[in-house]
Each structure stands twice: as structure tokens, then as C-alpha cells.
Structure 1
Amino acid sequence: MPDQKALLLPQKQGQFVVDNWPIPSPGHGEVLIKVQATALNPVDWKMRKVGFLIDKYPAVFGWDFSGDVEVVGEGVEGFEKGDRVTGMSYPARGNGTFQQYILMPARLVVKIPPSLNYVDAASMPVGYGTAALGLLAAPPLGAGLNPSCDFSVNHAGEAAFVFGGSSSVGQFAIQILRKMKYSPIITYASARHTEFLKSLGATHVIDRAATPTSSVPDTVRALAGGAAINIAYDAISEPDTQEACFSLLSQGGVAVAIQGGEDKDVGGRKLIHIVLEAHGDGEFGEGMWKSLGRQLEEGVIVPNRTEILPNGLAGIIDGLKRMEDNGVSGVKLVALPQETS
């Protein structure tokens, strides 16, 4: 195959550039996917700025994708050329999604139902995977609410809290908690997203402009009305937000954070931090993606609201800068690699 176009980072903490890049060939158990849409995540600009996760350069970043199966490798069953698929890649393994073609293990690829377009499908994997891992996976990977991902458990009468409900991860955390019958589901976000977040399952939205982080624990406990608060998901995960989530827990509760920090276990309450790489690894990862496939078919998981970036892969550069400058709220930025000139 001829070369493809990719958004490359030539060296650690360098500047992105669109350039030619070889198209890989699938090995045993792999599929080659023509990437139709790829979504941006905060970790992308942080990886470039801080220089973590990637050891080999030039490198291709990007985690979320949707597209078409182009070539099926040996030993792969259940997929054929032309299948519409989505999933989450892992750039440190050399298969970032900011390119026109990627290799993926077939066991971690999910078919897209006819009702879902490429852009919406690409908005989901990292956000859903991060929320599901933290909430559902057995310790030490997550809080252990539903390791089988079959959503047979029922937490009616228990309160849950999501810090940053309008973020991509926060939106999926709310939907997963709704599916497990938590009530009330309280979230902290901009008031302008109130109706949308309630449509996902939130029962109360605390306006971040009116309530400082330090007041969140008391506010949440008041809204919970005496219900036990056994789970809090921190989709922002700054030191003060992690402390707020930990402080509001009832005895035996778990707060989940998505970025660095120290785990703690004090007085029967826990704060845990999840690891992105654990998404696709092992029994839980495979079960999680199969569960997502079923939920997409049933239409019970709603994708993020999206904004399509212009200029294909080149548009990602400005999109990441907007994210770094806190210029994106309530939407997932998505690029279309095949539109790269």
C-alpha cells in the first residue's frame, strides 16, 4: 500500500505536523482500519506538553476512532472488509488514531450499528471506557460496582456524585450510574448544561459558577437527603476536586479519580486512581467492549455532543490548543482524517 497521511509529533514536546507515514499490515488477530473519524481528548495535549507515555518518536497520538475494516488479518473471525467499527487505541503501542489507517486487535473492536454515524461513534470509546473502568472493574482497577459489565446489579436508594458531569467521561459516568439505578445522581457542572445532563440521568446539577469546590461536599450531602453516598466519580481530578469527592463519601464509599495522585483508605472510605492502559487489557477490557457493543445496538448509551473540526488531521492542532486553553465545554471535538489534503 502507498503511504498515508498522519499527524506526527517529530520529537518529545515538539510541534505537530501532517506528513506521510507508512500504512501497516495486520498480523495474526488484527484488523487494518480506515479511520473515518477520530476524537480529541485532554490527554493528547497533555502528552505533548509534558512528554509522557510515549518513548519513541516520531509518534502518532490519538485514542478514539471509528472507521471501516480494510484488511482482516489471519485468525480473525466475525469481521470482514467494509464492516463499520469503533474502539479505543493506545498510542504508546504505536497505533495512535491521528492517521488515516490504524491496526487494532480484533478482540477490542466494536461494530457500529446502522443507527450511529462515524462522528458519534468516535466520540464514545475513551469517555465510556474511562467511566466504565473506574466504576465497574474489580479492585484495584476500579470501584468494583459491576465487574461482569452485565448491569444486573441494582443500587436503588443509593446516591452517586459526578464531578465534571459535562465532560466526556462525566457524561458516560452519569449514564452508567443511571443504568445501575442509582438515585439521586448529583453532578457538578456549568448550569447551561443542566437540561442535557438531566436527560442523561442526572437528578441534580450543582452550578459550578455559584458553588465553590470547597462547598461541594455539604451541598451534595444536602441534596442526597440522607441517602448513602457510596460512589463519587471525579472526571476533573485536580487535588481539590479529589479531596471534595473523598470528603463527601459515606462509610465504605469509594471515590474514583482519573489522573495522578495517591490512593488513600481512611476510616473505611477510599480514593482510587485508574490507569488508562487498563481499558483494553485482560478479561475486564474485553468484556467492557462487548458490553458497549450490546448497548450501542440497544441504543441505551447516548454519544457525546460533537463538533467537527475542519481540514482533516491538520485541524487537530488548533483543536488541541482550544482544549488546553479551556475553550471547549460540553462537546467532543472530532476530526475526519480522510479529508486531509
Structure 2
Amino acid sequence: MLDSPSPWEEMTYESLQHRLSRLRPHGAGNGFVVPRQRLRVRLQMLDDRRASLSIKCDTKPLGVPSLQLVECAVSQDGKGWWLHVAERQPSQERLVPFYVDLCRKLESAGSSDQAVSTVKSVLKEWSKAFALDRGDLTRDQMLGLAGELQVLARLLGNSRVHSAEHVLGWWQGPDSADHDFDLPGLFQIEVKASGPATEKLHISNEHQLESKDKLLYLARVGVEMVPKPTSATRTLPDMVAEIAERLAGDGVKGMFADLVIRAGLNVLDQRYEDHHFRVYSVEYYEIDQRAPRIVPNDLRPGISHVTYRINLADLKSLQVQEAELMKGL
């Protein structure tokens, strides 16, 4: 075995990734022992170069499921049983946040039986995230999601007639629809997140500002990513938690959690705690024939997927106050 790692409370994404990179060149059985008073855990390599978090058990672990990216297996040696929580394919560094979360939660396990229960619980928490795994969100994707969450929070806060379940159903961004919010019989909203000093907005295609059977509004969210947290900043998990606190009932909370996962955010991933956002403003503009835009009817046959930029200054005459827009919700 290699030298022991730092204590549980110091387990971070960076430290665990470093240990995994040190383990990769070594053969089966090599690893790090994580000392515990009543629990024996080690991060080790299996015989096919896969990393595994392995837990010594007094009795044979039963009923531990495997997931899309994680395989759980049981082995026996002369002194007892081992539960192996292993990556399905070698070098899946995207599993590091999962292992960090598991390690931290195993800290409170006082016996091997409690450790097995903790593994099952963590696997259940991560199952939906693994099923819809899209990899890590890029900086632009995080900014975009921050913008959508701001608008969602405002829709929930201004809705007096429609239930929270209805409002959550309006959020179409997680499913990559043409517009981020679709309010049946009312209007649609396309969200654009940009820095507070930005003068131009990037439009991804000719459908984003196309209004069809209902009114379309462009919500420009002034938001930026900052290097250090302050009292005015929030992380994406913070924003999600603040919205979840407004929701009553497990069914509605579960619906929101599913939407967040479909949007590509795993709130259990500790790395998202390192990205801090400051929101400055949310402005709304009515998008119709007066607005600077490119729509499908403007293009010749055979031309599609057009990207372009519009000047914010050219939208000022189309600005609508939030209270007016959301009146009657």
C-alpha cells in the first residue's frame, strides 16, 4: 500500500484526484489506507486498472446496487468481506466528486453495517445524476443556468394564480427547447445571461428570437462569475436551495430536483461550490417585428444554425417592467 492520505475532513476534489493520478501507474492491490477507529477503508486499484473505494465488512454486504458509471462488487479474503465501489471504466475522473461525497458521508459510519447503509444511500442520491450525466458544465453553461434560475425564482415569486407545479412546468431550458420558458396561453421567455457591462447579446440560432403563436420576451440577466465569495454572491447549489425552500411537498421538490439534473447540474458535486456568481439585474424586452433579430423567414433555403449578436441599446425602447409582465400570474 502507498502512504496514507490526509484525514477525512480534508478530503477534497483536488486531493482525491491527486491520489488517483498517483494510483493509476500501479498494479492491483496498491492504494491508500484511510484510517478509522471502527472502519477500514482504502482507495485502491483493481486488477483491471479500475479505481475502487473498498470497505472492509464484518458480514457479507447484500443488496448494494450498481449504477451506470459505478459497479459494486463483493469479495472475500481470509479475514472477512470487502465491498468494492469501483468505476466501470478506468480513468473516469468525473467520478471523483462522487467518491469525495461518499468519503465524507462515511465519516459518520461507526460500523461496517452503517458503512454499507451509507453506500446505498449515496448511490441512490447519485443515481439520477449518473443516468443523465453530461459531463461538467462549462463556464457559459453555468452562467446560462444561473440566469434561468433567476427568472424561475421570479416567476415563482410573482405567481398568485398558478401553482408551483405549474410554474415549474413552464421551465423548458433543461430540455433544450427553442425558448427557456413557455407559459401556455400567455407568453414565452428566452433568457440571456451576460456581464453587467456587456453591450451585445449572443443569439445562438434563428429560432431563439422567433415568436410564433404567443408573445415572446427576452430576459437579460446581468450576472458575472467572481473569484471570491461575498455576501452578495451565490453558487449554483445556493440558488437551487433557495428555490427549493419555497416549494412545499416532496412531489414538487422532486420535480424541481429532476429539472435541475436535466439542466446538467449535480448539486452534490463539490466543485460547483467553488464558482460564485453575482446577479445585478433582470431586464425584460418584448420581441416582435420591431426588435433586431434573424428568424427562419429571413433566411434563404439551405441556410440554418445562424449565430449573431444584437446591441442592447437597440432594445431599450422595447423594455417591459417585471411587474407589468408578470401581472396576472
| Larger Cα-atom Rg | 2
| Structure with greater contact order relative to length (CA < 8 Å, sep ≥ 6) | 1
